[in-house]
């Protein structure tokens, strides 16, 4: 079922190559292609909070078949998978032994036809499917973020104009969605004070590309942290390969969970499969060159990569530092629970925990200066 709104992009028409279950096939694709007999491993759980993630070895062709079926279900929650081999039963970054595929979240209104055209042009085996929230016509945005964006750009208040500019410059929404946005008011939610905007139905997609060579963190980097950074670059490089697609930063976590394709009864949904070689992550060019995993020289954990000593800086500036705002604006993929003033985050020293990479670890938090409990106005903590 096609549900794409009219947008500013005009993709070239792609040739229909038949169907496989619920998926439209785009050439060249053949489920019996010998390249797709290559073995891979995914980890499967019953739901997001599952405490048991089971390794499932399979040929690439079986993963294609699993994703080609778009299930009808009132609930978004359900069976989920990680494109990696997880050691033990807990879904956490430190337990990822090898990544066998790259998954991308594209939730900013890019039309499916534009993504399909990019997949065909790239020439690699790729599967795109719409999410359970595909086609939603309203979105809630944290008002604090838009307020800060407006102030930084010389705008006095949050209104239609500042919201449009935020969506265009900060969130990279598709222009076809932006031109229909209407600011309808503010609402209070558990996550904080939110801006409510309405728009034409928003396309939301997941894109999966199986890898020809597994990404094994312990073999490509000297430390766990360096391996995680390298994997993030691989994900961004894949998005660039597909026409610089805007990527949800949470997708760069190698233990990132994806739901199998599902939609509510009667709701529009799409799946497309493009044939081609399996993607070789080592060939990706990022940041002007091939990714390198060599760690930089660091003087200490409170010293930035540019050599600035944060300990000295904090003596003068920490009392007014809005750390929650800085984290949300620059590394929101590290946020584990969201609040306006206090957030639980991934600990900067996560690799030293007894269970490093555990996404349910709530032992580290950040609080904006002025909202904490100590006299300096700065508060933050960790029980690690």
pTM to 2 decimal places: 0.74
Residue of 376, 382, 356 lying closest to 227 (CA atoms) = 356
Q: Is 172 left (phi over 0), alpha (psi -120 to 50) or beta?
A: left
pLDDT of residue 317: 65
What is the spatial distance between Cα 208 and Cα 100, in angstroms, rounded to a whole number? 10
pLDDT of residue 225: 79
Mean pLDDT by 10 residues, the chain (384 residues): 45 64 89 95 91 95 96 88 94 92 93 94 96 95 92 93 94 94 93 92 96 94 85 89 78 88 94 96 67 38 56 61 73 68 69 50 70 46 45
Strand pairing category for 364-367 and 379-382:
antiparallel
User: How far lies 166's CA from each of 37, 42, 161, 170, 221, in Å?
Assistant: 45, 37, 9, 5, 36
**Contacts made by residues 140-143, CB under 8 angstroms, sequence distance 24+:** 140/187, 140/189, 140/194, 140/195, 140/196, 140/197, 141/166, 141/194, 141/195, 141/197, 142/191, 142/192, 142/193, 142/194, 142/195, 142/328, 142/338, 142/340, 143/186, 143/192, 143/193, 143/194, 143/195
pLDDT of residue 304: 57
pLDDT of residue 309: 60
Strand pairing category for 84-86 and 96-106:
antiparallel
User: How far lies 323's CA from each of 40, 115, 248, 335, in Å?
Assistant: 41, 36, 21, 12
Go through 349-358 and write b for each residue having 16 or more CB atoms within 10 A of its CB, e for each that does not: ebeebeebbb
Please report the sign of the dihedral spanned by the C-alpha atoms of residue 84, residue 384, residue 332, residue 238: negative
Instruction: Quote the tokens at residue 219.
Output: 């073999």
Instruction: Quote the tokens at residue 100.
Output: 């066998």
Residue of 179, 137, 127 lying closest to 9 (CA atoms) = 179
Backbone φ and ψ for 190, nearest 5 degrees, come out as -55, -30
Residue of 11, 35, 27, 16 lying closest to 279 (CA atoms) = 35
Q: Cis ω on the peptide bond leading into residue 28 (within 30° of 0)?
A: yes
Please report the sign of the dihedral spanned by the C-alpha atoms of residue 187, residue 193, residue 195, residue 196: negative
Q: Are 301 and 382 within 8 A, CB to CB?
A: no
What is the spatial distance between Cα 21 and Cα 195, in angstroms, rounded to a whole number? 40
Instruction: Quote the tokens at residue 9.
Output: 């992009």
pLDDT of residue 253: 86
Instruction: Quote the tokens at residue 96.
Output: 């990822």
DSSP state of 359: T
User: How far lies 353's CA from each of 57, 165, 366, in Å?
Assistant: 29, 41, 18
Strand pairing category for 182-189 and 192-202:
antiparallel
Instruction: Quote the tokens at residue 250.
Output: 């949470």
What is the spatial distance between Cα 349 and Cα 359, in angstroms, rounded to a whole number? 14
What is the spatial distance between Cα 100 and Cα 254, in angstroms, rounded to a whole number? 10
């Amino acid at each position: 079922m096609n549900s794409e709104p009219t947008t500013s992009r005009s993709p070239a028409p792609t040739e229909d190559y038949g169907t496989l279950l619920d998926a439209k096939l785009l050439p060249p694709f053949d489920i019996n292609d010998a390249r797709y007999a290559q073995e891979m491993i995914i980890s499967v759980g019953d739901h997001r909070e599952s405490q048991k993630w089971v390794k499932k070895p399979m040929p690439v062709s079986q993963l294609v078949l699993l994703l080609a079926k778009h299930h009808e279900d009132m609930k978004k929650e359900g069976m989920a998978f990680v494109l990696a081999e997880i050691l033990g039963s807990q879904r956490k970054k430190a337990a990822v032994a090898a990544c066998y595929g790259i998954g991308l979240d594209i939730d900013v209104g890019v039309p499916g036809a534009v993504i399909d055209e990019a997949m065909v042009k790239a020439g690699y085996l790729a599967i795109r499917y719409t999410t359970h929230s595909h086609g939603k016509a309203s979105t809630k945005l944290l008002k604090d973020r838009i307020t800060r964006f407006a102030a930084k750009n010389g705008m006095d208040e949050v209104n239609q104009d500042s919201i449009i500019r935020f969506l265009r410059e900060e969130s990279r929404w598709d222009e076809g969605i932006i031109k229909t946005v209407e600011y309808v008011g503010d609402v209070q939610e558990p996550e904080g004070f939110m801006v409510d905007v309405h728009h034409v139905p928003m396309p939301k997609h997941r894109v999966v590309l199986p890898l020809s060579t597994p990404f094994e963190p312990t073999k490509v980097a000297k430390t766990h942290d360096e391996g995680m950074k390298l994997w993030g670059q691989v994900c961004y490089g894949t998005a660039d390969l597909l026409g610089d697609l805007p990527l949800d930063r949470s997708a760069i976590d190698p233990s990132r969970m994806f739901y199998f394709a599902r939609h509510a009864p009667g709701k529009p949904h799409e799946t497309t499969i493009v044939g081609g070689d399996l993607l070789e992550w080592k060939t990706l060019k990022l940041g002007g060159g091939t990714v390198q995993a060599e760690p930089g020289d660091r003087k200490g954990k409170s010293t930035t990569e540019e050599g600035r000593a944060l300990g000295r800086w904090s003596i003068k500036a920490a009392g007014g530092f809005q750390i929650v705002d800085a984290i949300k604006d620059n590394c929101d993929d590290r946020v584990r629970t969201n609040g306006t003033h206090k957030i639980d985050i991934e600990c900067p020293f996560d690799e030293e925990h007894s269970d490093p990479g555990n996404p349910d670890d709530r032992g580290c938090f950040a609080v904006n200066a002025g909202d904490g409990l100590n006299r300096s106005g700065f508060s933050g903590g960790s029980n690690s």
